[in-house]
Structure formats: structure tokens, C-alpha cells
């Protein structure tokens, strides 16, 4: 594997540099399960035709004499990037379920298997006995939206091999043409106000503010602790039923489910310590591209395109209150989540966090930037991300796909969650520090039961209250959005 003559090395982006620092190292794990055994030759052909088109997938990470990270184009030997792991040590019982074994493997990868920097920073691990692959991609190459968009470009629609999968189209939240000047001015004032409030909050978490310690708290150094993994399974129809009941979004429902599930888990872990008034804080990674959602990879790779490849991520701080004012109303968690997220959408917190990291990186370098962002993670309790995948069956290298999941390597949180939806299902990978959260499958069950309880309440004939209460937040009308 050698460098191509005449190719000039390109500098790594500021966000990419953060992910290359010792305390910021992060590898994305995309798990793709097929209905049939993996066809290795067809898989390699698909990789060569599609996956290697982004320059980062055929570039070496090098460093100049000043220590600055650069991408240098190189030739790729695909066979060097395909790994055939031995899973025999992960089978504790003969009747272990497939999902359990895959999750044990992901948990091991989360703390013990860095990528080799003598070749481009990606690998494909083939778990042939379980008909699935794990695509390992260093976060410096791109974020989840980039990778999912690229993966879909490698796929075809089931039954229509001439067509690539259709990309989910997010609803655009544009002001109505009839919106009054007074309403536009009001929204501008609210945007400025909440941007200031939330950006100050973000800065405080990078300095000294931190969550109260709970049985699920992580902290500095926890990224090195052994991990366990589990999968929570949701029905998108159930989530949409709850979403429609509160006139919200699937993301509102997801955060309501997380708050309810964590409250259930903490009550089980500490039955004699009520969670009254307890508030924990999550860190959500937000896609900053416009339009939001999955992108056409061909547009991402065009020179000068506004649809950019790479890491276009901002972070927002999400406080969750783990107590219901009305114990008989499980939808209260979703209503509270909707109230908070409506205000977050008004602010520019995600844009600020992205620009703050880039600015600090350009002025003070990667060490200071990593120290600050690491503290934000260490001072909060969990990380969450949510990617909307295709709702139709897709085929990769001639193999129909059963499931899509995503996870990552460890960070200072004891709890990280990554949800991906596909074919009417949403599966959330839960990665925990096993000495802190002892049974992640129990936690996954808490999340699943929380959604089922909300669905049951919404399905009752007398469930007619569809107005989300604001729980102390200023009222923000959403009627001006289409």
C-alpha cells in the first residue's frame, strides 16, 4: 500500500482532529444483518464500486512535522480491511441467542480494538455464523448521517435491483407566508433569548456544572471500563401513535421513553431512594446539514456542494426530569420532552457548539479543545443519537437486509444509546459500563415497557387530551410551521 504520486495531502477537519485525540477517539460500528450467508466476493465488489468513492476511505492518516493530522491518498487492498473474527469465546451457553452474541462482540470492540493507522481507518468484520457484518469506521472519516447515506448508495430496493433506496424526506419547518410581522419578530426574540440561555448552559457544563451522581453516572476515565451491550426493540407504528397523540415528533417520543425508562430502572436499582426532583442530563448529537436527514451521496461528493461530507455535528444539552407530576399519565414524559425540544429547535445551540469547537481548535489546538469537550461529556449522564433509515426492505450485495443497528466505542458516559429505524422497526443499541449498569437487558426492557405503556394509554377510547402541557417552559406556538 503506497501513496499515489502527485496527490497532495489534505488537512483533517477540526471535528475530525478531536476524534483523533487520545481522549476523543471514537469508532462507529454499523451492524448489518442479512437474511442469507454473506457473499464475500459480492461484498468486496460492492465496496470497490461504492464505498471507496469518498476520498477519506482511500486515504491514510499522516502527520506533518508540526503534528498536524492530514489525509494522504493511497491504494486500498480490500482484503486487508476484511476481518473474520472467532466468536467461540463469546458463547457462554449453547442456546445463547444470536443478538446476545453479537452484542458481546460489540461490547468487546468498544474498548479493546483500535483501528490500524497503517491503512485507511475502516474495517469490515464478517460474522458469517450469524449472517451479519460490522462496518467499523473511524469517526474522523464522517458522522452517522454520512455513513448511512453512503451505505444506502451501496444498496438496492428489494425486488427493484435497478433502483437505489429512497431517502426519507424530513418535514421542512418553514414559516407560513401569512405569518404576521409581529409573530416573526416574536420568534426572532425567542430565538436570540434561548440561544443565549442554552449556549451559556453548554459553556457551564464544559467548566464546572455537572449532574448529580446516580446509579447510572459515568465520569472521567469511565471510557476505559469494560462494556456490555443490549438492544431495545420498538415499533415505529407505536411511536407514531404516541407522537400523534401529543402532536409531536418521533424524537419527542424517544426522549419521553428514555426519561420514563430511566426512571423505572433507577427505582429498581434504588427502591429506597425516591427519584423525586432528580434531573439528569443527556447530550444529543444533532445533524447540522440542510436539508436535515439522509443525503444523496453523489451530491455530498461534488466539489463545492452545500451538502457536505464528514462530521457536521453539533451537540445539545437535554435535561430530563425523572418524575411525573401525575403518576397516572405516562404521556407526561413525552409532553415534557416535546416542550423542551420545541425550545431547543428555536435556538442555535447545536450551531454554537459546533462553531465553538472549531474556533477553540483553530486558536488553542486539539489538546485544549479535547479537554473542554471531554468535560462536557464527563459532566453529563448519557449520549443519544437517532438516525432515520429506509422504511422499505433493501438489498446489499444481493442479500436482503434483516436489521440495521449502530453503536460506537466508549466515551466517559456509562450509558450511550444509538437508535436506527428500518422497515417499520426502531432498534436502539445500548452500550453501558458493566460495573455501573449491571444488566443492560433489564434497562432495554424498561425502555420497551415505557413505550408499550404509553401506547396502551393512547389506545384507550377516552384518551382525548392531545394538548402537550408546557411544564414551566414559555409557550411557543408551532402553528406557523407547515
Q: For 66, what's the count of Cα atoms within 13 Å in the CB-facing half-sphere? A: 5
Q: C-alpha dihedral over 244, 246, 247, 253, to 10 degrees? A: -70
End-to-end CA distance of the chain: 52
CA distance 283 to 402: 29
Whole-angstrom CA distances from 117 to 69, 397, 409 are 12, 28, 17
Instruction: Tell me how far apart the alpha carbons of residues 181 and 185 are, in angstroms, rounded to a whole number.
Output: 6
- Tell me the three cell numbers of residue 3: 501513496
The active-site residue, picked from 139, 379, 413, 418, is 139
Contacts of 425 (CB under 8 A, 6+ apart): 233, 234, 235, 236, 403
| Rounded distance between C-alpha atoms, residue 93 and residue 34, angstroms | 24
Q: Are the C-beta atoms of residues 380 and 283 closer than 8 Å to each other?
A: yes
What is the DSSP pairing of strand 59-63 with strand 122-127?
Answer: unpaired
Residue that the C-alpha cell 452517522 belongs to: 144
The sign of the dihedral angle between the CA atoms of 251, 252, 257, 260 is: positive
Please name the residues in contact with 208: beta carbons below 8 A apart, sequence gap of 6 or more.
none
Q: Locate all alpha helices (DSSP H) within 93-221, ordered by sequence.
A: 98-112, 144-153, 181-207
Using only C-alpha atoms, what is the Rg of the chain? Answer: 22
Cα distance between residue 482 and residue 474, in whole Å: 21
**Angle at alpha carbon of residue 333, lines to 330 and 335, rounded to 5°:** 105
d(C-alpha 236, C-alpha 254), whole Å: 11
The gap from C-alpha 283 to its chain's centroid, in whole angstroms, comes to 10
139 catalytic per annotation? yes
Q: Which of 272, 274, 236, 276 is nearest to 257 (CA)?
A: 236
- Spatial separation of the C-alpha atoms in residues 115 and 125, rounded to whole Å: 12
d(CA 426, CA 429): 10
Residues annotated as catalytic are 139
Amino acid at each position: 500500500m503506497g501513496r499515489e504520486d502527485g496527490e497532495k495531502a489534505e488537512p483533517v477537519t477540526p471535528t475530525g482532529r478531536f476524534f483523533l485525540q487520545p481522549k476523543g477517539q471514537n469508532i462507529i460500528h454499523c451492524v448489518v444483518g442479512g437474511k442469507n450467508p454473506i457473499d464475500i466476493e459480492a461484498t468486496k465488489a460492492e465496496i470497490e464500486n461504492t464505498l471507496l468513492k469518498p476520498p477519506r476511505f482511500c486515504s491514510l492518516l499522516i502527520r506533518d512535522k508540526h503534528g498536524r493530522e492530514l489525509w494522504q491518498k493511497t491504494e486500498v487492498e480490500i482484503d486487508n480491511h476484511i476481518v473474520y473474527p472467532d466468536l467461540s469465546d463469546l458463547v457462554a451457553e449453547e442456546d445463547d441467542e444470536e443478538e446476545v452474541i453479537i452484542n458481546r462482540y460489540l461490547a468487546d470492540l468498544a474498548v479493546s480494538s483500535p483501528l490500524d493507522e497503517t491503512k485507511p481507518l475502516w474495517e469490515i468484520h464478517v460474522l458469517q455464523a450469524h449472517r451479519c457484518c460490522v462496518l467499523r469506521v473511524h469517526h474522523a472519516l464522517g458522522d452517522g448521517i454520512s455513513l448511512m447515506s453512503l451505505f444506502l448508495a451501496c444498496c438496492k430496493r428489494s425486488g427493484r435491483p435497478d433502483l437505489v433506496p429512497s431517502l426519507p424526506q424530513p418535514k421542512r419547518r418553514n414559516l407560513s407566508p401569512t405569518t404576521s410581522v409581529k409573530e416573526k419578530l416574536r420568534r426572532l426574540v425567542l430565538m436570540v433569548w434561548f440561544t443565549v440561555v442554552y449556549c451559556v448552559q453548554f459553556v457551564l457544563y464544559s467548566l464546572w456544572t455537572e449532574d448529580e451522581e446516580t446509579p447510572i453516572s459515568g465520569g472521567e476515565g469511565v471510557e476505559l471500563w469494560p462494556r456490555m451491550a443490549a438492544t431495545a426493540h420498538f415499533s415505529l407504528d407505536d411511536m407514531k401513535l404516541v407522537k400523534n397523540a401529543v402532536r409531536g415528533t418521533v424524537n419527542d417520543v424517544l426522549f419521553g421513553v428514555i426519561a420514563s425508562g430511566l426512571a423505572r430502572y433507577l427505582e429498581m436499582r434504588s427502591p429506597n431512594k425516591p427519584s423525586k426532583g432528580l434531573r439528569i442530563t443527556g447530550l444529543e448529537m444533532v445533524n447540522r446539514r440542510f436539508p436535515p436527514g439522509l443525503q444523496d451521496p453523489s451530491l455530498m461528493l461534488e466539489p463545492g456542494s452545500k451538502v457536505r461530507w464528514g462530521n457536521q455535528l453539533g451537540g445539545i444539552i437535554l435535561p430530563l426530569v425523572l418524575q411525573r407530576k401525575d403518576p397516572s399519565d405516562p404521556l407526561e414524559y413525552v409532553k415534557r420532552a416535546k416542550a423542551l425540544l420545541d425550545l431547543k429547535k428555536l435556538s442555535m445551540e447545536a450551531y454554537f457548539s459546533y462553531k465553538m469547537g472549531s474556533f477553540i481548535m483553530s486558536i488553542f489546538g486539539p489538546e485544549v479543545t479535547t479537554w473542554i469537550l471531554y468535560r462536557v461529556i464527563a459532566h453529563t449522564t448519557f449520549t443519544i443519537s437517532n438516525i432515520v433509515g429506509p422504511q422499505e426492505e433493501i438489498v446489499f450485495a444481493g442479500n436482503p437486509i434483516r436489521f440495521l443497528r449502530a453503536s460506537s466505542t466508549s466515551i466517559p458516559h456509562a450509558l450511550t444509546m444509538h437508535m436506527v429505524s428500518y422497515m417499520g422497526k426502531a432498534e436502539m443499541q445500548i452500550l453501558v459500563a458493566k460495573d455501573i449498569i449491571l444488566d443492560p437487558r433489564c434497562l432495554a426492557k424498561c425502555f420497551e415497557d415505557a413505550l408499550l405503556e404509553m401506547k396502551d394509554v393512547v389506545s384507550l377510547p377516552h384518551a382525548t387530551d392531545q394538548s402537550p402541557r408546557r411544564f414551566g417552559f414559555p409557550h411557543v406556538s408551532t402553528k406557523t410551521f407547515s
